Structure 1
Amino acid sequence: MKKTDCNILVEKLVSMIRSFGSEKLSYSGRLILVNSVLTALYNYWINIFVIPTGVLNKLNAICRNYLWDGGADYVRVSMVGWEKVCCPKSKGGLGIKDSLAWNIAAIGKLVNQVYLKGQDWKDYKPSGDLSWRWKSVCKVKDKLDTGYQNGHWLLDARGYTLRSGYDLIRHKFQNVPWHKQIWNSWSLPKHQFIGWLIVREALMLKDKLFSLEIAPNDDCLLCVSNPLQRITDGQFSQVQKGVILSAISATFYHIWLQRNKARVDGVLQRPEFLRELIQKELKARIAVQLSQGIANRDNVWLRSRSLVV
C-alpha cells in the first residue's frame, strides 16, 4: 500500500482520540484505551497489508502521545522509551503492540502459510516475472531469517506463527523478576502503573529534578527519609501477599500524587487523611477479589486488620 492510501487510517486514529475527551484519565485508563480501542482500529490493516514504515511510525507516535499526555500530538517527552513500553508485562513493558514489528511478523505468516502453502519459505525466491509488490512482500523473510535452521522454524514446534515471529523481532528483551509484584491483581490499575514507573526509575522525582538542575535540592517534600521498608513474604499466603503488595502499590501512588500537589499547589494532606484514603481503596479492591472466594485463614487475617466487614 502507498502512504496516501493509509492517510484515512491515521485520520481515524486522531478522530477517535478527540472523541474520547479523556485528558483527565489516569495513565492506566489511557493504557486500557490504547490496548483495547486504538490498536484495534488498525489491527486488520497491519495483519494483511505491507504498511509503509512512515505510516507505522506515525501510528506508534499517536498511541505514544496519547498514553503520556492524552492527545494525538507530541507535547511532552515520554517517561519510558516506546520500545520498552511495547514489551510484554513479563518483560518489563506495558503490553502495547508495536505496529512496525507486528506488521513484519503478520506478513511473514501471510506469505508462509497462505501463499506458499507449505513450501520452504526460507529458500523461496520469487521468479523474475512476478510483480515488484510480491517481491517486496517476500523481502520480509530477510528480517526473520535467524529464526530458521535447516529449513525448520526454531521458535515453535508447530512451525511459523505470528506470535513467535513477533517475539523473534523483539527477542533482545528478557523477563524481569518484578512483574508479578507490580501487576498484582489485588492492586488498583492506577496504582500498578505508578508502581511500574517507580521500578523503571521513570518518575520525575525530586532527585531526578535536582540532577537536571530543575529543583534546588533533592529533599523529599513529605519526609526526610524513605518511609517504605522492604517486606519479606515468606510467612504470608498468596492472598496475604497480594493484599500487602496492593497496600504498597497504593502507598507509592499516593506519595507520588501528594508530592505533585505539594510541588504544584503548595498543599499537603494530613497523613491520617492519606491513610484513611488508602484503606478505603484497599477495602474496595479486596471486596472485588473476595467474590472469587478465599480460605478461612485468609478471611481471619483480613478481619484482624479491619479490611473486611
Structure 2
Amino acid sequence: MVSWEKVCSPKEEGGLGIKDSLSWNIAAIRKLVWWIYYSPDRLWVKWVYQIYLKGADWQEYHPSGDVSWGWKSICRVKNRLVSGYQNGQWVLDSKGYTVGSGYELVRQKFQAVQWNQWVWNGWCLPRHQFIGWLIARENLQLKVKLCQLGIAADDDCLLCSNASETHVHLFQECTYGRRVFSEINNRCNMSIPMSNHMQWVGNGQVSRLQKAVLLCIVMAAYYHIWMQRNKARVEGCILRPELTINQIRREVQARITARLLPEKDKRDLDWLRSVKLYL
C-alpha cells in the first residue's frame, strides 16, 4: 500500500497529485487568520473584533470554553504556518498569504523523482499509468510481499516459477516478460534493454513523438504483464506472449489514432506505419 501522505504529494515527488484535505483545510482556515491580522476593514473581521476579541490582542488571544467550534478551529490554526512569515510579511507569495502557498508549507515534502514524466506521459491510458506508477514505486502486491504477510504459501513467480516474484524479476528477468519485450523490440526495430525500460526510452535519442509512443508501449506492456500475472493467480492460466503483444498493439494503436494530428512529421508517420501502429 502507498501511504496517504505519498499519494497526496505532487507527481514530481512520486505521488498522484491529490490534495490532502486536512492540510488544505488548515491552509484555508489560515486565510481567515490572515484577514484578522491584515484586513481590519472587512465586515466579518469587524464582527470578530466586536463579538470575540472585544479589544483583546489577537496575538495573545485564547478562546473561552463557550465560543463556537468554528471560532475555536480558527484560533487553533492561528499559530500554524508561522515559519512562512518574516517581519510580519508572508514571504512565500509576493501578493500576500494565499491558500495555495500555505498548503505548500504545511504539506509533507518528499524527494523529487525522475520517472514521473515517463509514467504520466499523456499518450498512455490512465489504467496503464496507474499500474506504471505502482511499479515505479515498487508497491505492487507481489508474492514476496504476500509471503512476508503470511498470505501466500511461497514467493515463486506465477508466470515462470523460476525465481521469487519481485518487481525486478517480474518486469526484467521473467521469461514471459522477456518474450514480450523481445517481440516489442522486433516489431519496433528497437533495442530496449530489459532493465530500466522507461529510463532508456525517456533518455533515448529519438523524436518526441517516437519517445511518447514507445513510453505508451512500455506502459501497456507493464500493465498486461501484470494482468497475466493476476490471471495466473486467479484462473491458473495465461495468454501466450504473442496474444499479449496483440492486445498491447491494439490498445496503443487506438490511443495513437485518437491523439495523433495529421500535421505530424512525415518521418514519424512513416515510422508508425512501419511498426503497424498507424494506418
For the criterion TM > 0.5, the same-fold answer is: yes
**Are residue 100 (structure 1) and residue 66 (structure 2) matched?**
no
Cross-structure match for 1:64:
none
Query: 240, 244, 249: which is aligned to 1:274?
Result: 244
C-alpha distance in 2 between matches for 1:211 and 1:170: 32
Deviation by residue 1:21-61 (Cα, 9 ceiling, x = unmatched)? xxxxxxxxxxxxxxxxxxxxxxxxxxxxxxxxxxxxxxxxx
- Tell me if structure 2 keeps the 8 A contact 1:84–1:93: yes
Cross-structure match for 1:284:
254
Q: What's the TM-score, normalizing by structure 2? A: 0.73
- Tell me if structure 2 keeps the 8 A contact 1:147–1:153: yes
Cross-structure match for 1:125:
59
Q: Relative contact order (C-alpha < 8 Å, sep 6+): which is higher?
A: 2
Note the C-alpha offset of 1:216.
3.9
Cross-structure match for 2:122:
185
Percent identical among aligned pairs is 53
Matched to 2:152, the amino acid is A
Which runs of structure 2 are paired with 1:83-232 in the superposition (5 Å)? 83-113=5-35, 115-118=36-39, 124-125=58-59, 132-133=67-68, 134=71, 136-223=73-160, 224=162, 225-226=173-174, 227=178, 228-231=194-197, 232=200
- Tell me if structure 1 keeps the 8 A contact 2:32–2:74: no
- Tell me if structure 2 keeps the 8 A contact 1:126–1:135: no
Cross-structure match for 2:215:
245
Deviation by residue 1:93-150 (Cα, 9 ceiling, x = unmatched)? 112221111110011123314x44447xxx9426579984435413313221111122
**Which structure has the larger Rg?**
2
Matched to 1:125, the amino acid is Q
Q: Indicate how the Cα distance of structure 1 residues 220 and 127 shifts in structure 2: closer, same or farther if over 3 A, else same.
A: closer
C-alpha distance in 2 between matches for 1:172 and 1:294: 39
- Tell me if structure 2 keeps the 8 A contact 1:195–1:252: yes
Please say which of residues 282-291 and 184-193 is displaced more in the overlay: 282-291
Report how many residues are paired: 227
C-alpha distance in 2 between matches for 1:208 and 1:171: 26
C-alpha distance in 2 between matches for 1:292 and 1:203: 38
CA-atom RMSD in angstroms: 2.4
- Tell me if structure 1 keeps the 8 A contact 2:9–2:16: yes
Matched to 2:276, the amino acid is S
Note the C-alpha offset of 1:288.
1.8
Deviation by residue 1:147-192 (Cα, 9 ceiling, x = unmatched)? 1122122222222111111111114223221111111111100000
Cross-structure match for 1:11:
none
- Tell me if structure 2 keeps the 8 A contact 1:191–1:253: yes
C-alpha distance in 2 between matches for 1:153 and 1:129: 25
- Tell me if structure 2 keeps the 8 A contact 1:210–1:216: yes
Note the C-alpha offset of 1:296.
2.3
Flag structure 1 segments of 5+ consecutive residues without an equivalent.
1-78
C-alpha distance in 2 between matches for 1:136 and 1:211: 43
Cross-structure match for 1:57:
none
**Are residue 306 (structure 1) and residue 243 (structure 2) matched?**
no
Cross-structure match for 2:51:
none
Note the C-alpha offset of 1:213.
4.1
- Tell me if structure 1 keeps the 8 A contact 2:63–2:75: no
Flag structure 2 segments of 5+ consecutive residues without an equivalent.
41-56, 163-172, 179-193
Deviation by residue 1:53-76 (Cα, 9 ceiling, x = unmatched)? xxxxxxxxxxxxxxxxxxxxxxxx
